[in-house]
Amino acid sequence: MADLAKITSLCKRRGFIFQSSEIYGGLASVWDYGPLGAEMKNNIKKAWWESLVYGRDDIEGLDAAILMNSEVWRASGHVTSFADLLVDCKNCKKRFRSDQLKTAACPECGGELTQPRQFNLMFKTNVGSIEGKGTEIFLRPETAQGIFVNFQNVLVSSRKKLPFGIAQIGKAFRNEITTGNFTFRSREFEQMELEYFVYPKDAAKWYKYWLDERLKWYTDLGIKARNLRLREHDKKELAHYASSCHDIDYLFPFGWSELEGIANRGDFDLKQHASLSGKDLSFYDENKKNRIIPYVIEPSGGIDRAFLAFLIDAYREEEVRGEKRVVLGLSKRLAPIKVAVLPLLRNRPKVTDMAKKIYSGLRGDKRIVYDDTASIGRLYRRQDEVGTLYCITVDVDSLSDKKVTVRDRDTMKQDRIGVDKLKEYLEKKLR
Ligand code: GAP
């Protein structure tokens, strides 16, 4: 497994992740995804969406707004309960989460600490041009509430019956106090959340089901099972809305840490919203001829954390013919670049022209690149380091036999393939 410094350096050097507003000195714990990062992040979202919305008939998608009526956050409990207990050092003025302190004095300078006080993690902003209490709203700290307030809209428009789920991917914002460990705890991040509504009597069964399903999603996409574990929350750790919760933890270089939480939220959210909005958020059970408030099981993952875990897990260094080879062994679905077309001789126009023509013919529905800016050894190293699955090389013989060499990233095995068979060959390999 890679250490975090190697991953951070690779991310910057190869265009996966940059610091936000870097030319102005950055903004703490906010990150931008570069060309390869944006590609890979999209691949993660696509894999999640496909597994839940396309691969099943009991889940619908949603894309709710980030800005919501502030009543939503009063009903959800975030205005009163989404807070950390903080202490300040009276000497160096640094701020700490009191639950993470091991000593009674400041861990930085030994100074005296203030009494703990509540600090709400939601970012505030204003709607309209006049600042004031009535215009104050929040940037959502979780995407889930957009799902709860749309429960009836989705139920009625899609005519679903229990059990059914609503899946959503989107940005969330938290004014985190403890940050660090690269993108692990960011102030702006993306979540992939599923709210799966069930009959209350079936909640325990579905809870167990989603624990298994979500663990499998990560291993199917290449994370080694030995680097994943399930950890149950003890009672005092549970969020204000949850009656039970397990984390899927990944063994990051800085220790076991949460990738995704799977919670039984019971009927907390729908009941709260029904009560504060005065609207009916129940489900009519046609068998029993009565209305019930469903329970909800929530698998809630962070895309940025999944991204980091996929990168760390895929990174390997090996020795090939006395030289170090760095490879990102990302799964086929997640690798940002699927194919690179590389001319063996960059100063032979006939070879480069043929390579460019092959590149144009293959482009379209996946990321394919062309590179002739270095020697072939260097070009291979560049592609291995970012996880490119196949490298196609065009050489002098290609001009006469109309064949090219296709090199597999992991085995480094090379196949000689006719140009007319190339598309079909790659489609089969990438399936
Ligand atoms: N709706 C439930 C919810 O938001 P959470 O455990 O607070 O639960 C869910 O967050 C997931 O969102 C986490 O497992 C993590 O992957 C991601 N996440 C939460 N805070 C984050 C942060 N500051 N930076 C990056 N990802 C974060």
- Which tokens is 323 given? 């030289």
Cα of 191 from ligand 1 centre, angstroms: 7
Which residues have any ligand 1 atom within 6 Å of their CB?
A: 142, 144, 174, 176, 185-186, 189, 191, 193, 258-261, 298, 300-302, 304-305
Peptide bond into 163 cis (omega under 30): yes
pLDDT at position 129, please? 75
Question: Which atom, in ligand 1's list, is nearest to the CA of 187?
Answer: 23
Question: Which atom, in ligand 1's list, is nearest to the CA of 186?
Answer: 24
Return the residue matching tokens 């929350």: 233
- Phi and psi at residue 388, in whole multiples of 5°? -60, 130
Per-residue pLDDT of the chain (431 residues; tens, 9 = 90+): 579 999 999 999 999 999 999 999 999 999 999 999 999 999 999 999 999 999 999 999 999 999 999 999 999 999 998 888 889 999 998 888 888 888 889 999 999 999 988 889 999 999 987 766 678 999 999 999 999 999 999 999 999 999 999 999 999 999 998 778 999 999 999 999 999 999 999 999 999 999 999 999 999 999 999 999 999 999 888 888 888 999 999 999 999 999 999 999 999 999 999 999 999 999 998 888 999 999 999 999 999 999 999 999 999 999 999 999 999 999 999 999 999 999 999 999 999 999 999 999 999 999 999 999 999 999 999 999 999 999 999 999 999 999 999 999 999 999 999 999 999 999 999 99
Q: What is the pLDDT of residues 50-93, one digit of tens each?
A: 999 999 999 999 999 999 999 999 999 999 988 888 899 999 98
Q: Over the Cα atoms of the chain, what is R_g?
A: 25
The CA distances from residue 240 to 83, 100, 135, 244, in Å, are 11, 19, 27, 11
CA distance 86 to 95: 7
Question: Which atom, in ligand 1's list, is nearest to the CA of 174?
Answer: 23
Task: Tell me the one-letter amino acid at 172.
Answer: A
Pocket probe for ligand 1: among 142, 175, 257, 303, the residue whose CB has the most ligand atoms within 8 Å is 142
Return the residue matching tokens 């300040």: 88
pLDDT at position 242, please? 87
CA distance 419 to 46: 30
The residue whose CA is least distant from atom 12 of ligand 1 is 302
Do residues 336 and 367 lie in contact, with contact meaning Cβ atoms separated by under 8 Å?
yes
Cα of 316 from ligand 1 centre, angstroms: 28
The residue whose CA is least distant from atom 5 of ligand 1 is 261
Cα of 302 from ligand 1 centre, angstroms: 6
pLDDT at position 180, please? 83
CA distance 390 to 341: 9
The residue whose CA is least distant from atom 21 of ligand 1 is 185
Cα of 183 from ligand 1 centre, angstroms: 12
Q: What is the pLDDT of residues 190-244, one digit of tens each?
A: 999 999 999 999 999 999 999 999 999 999 999 999 999 999 999 888 888 888 9
Cα of 301 from ligand 1 centre, angstroms: 6
Q: Name the 3-class secondary structure at 98.
A: helix
pLDDT at position 133, please? 66
In terms of Cα–Cα distance, which of 61, 304, 50, 236 is closest to 165?
61
Pocket probe for ligand 1: among 33, 268, 305, 308, the residue whose CB has the most ligand atoms within 8 Å is 305
pLDDT at position 1, please? 58
pLDDT at position 380, please? 97
The residue whose CA is least distant from atom 4 of ligand 1 is 142
Question: Which atom, in ligand 1's list, is nearest to the CA of 141?
Answer: 4
Pocket probe for ligand 1: among 29, 183, 191, the residue whose CB has the most ligand atoms within 8 Å is 191
Q: What is the pLDDT of residues 273-297, one digit of tens each?
A: 999 999 999 999 888 899 999 999 9
Reported as half-sphere exposure (CB side, CA atoms, 13 A), residue 70 has a value of 14
pLDDT at position 149, please? 98
Question: Which atom, in ligand 1's list, is nearest to the CA of 248?
Answer: 14
pLDDT at position 59, please? 98
Cα of 145 from ligand 1 centre, angstroms: 14
Cα of 78 from ligand 1 centre, angstroms: 14
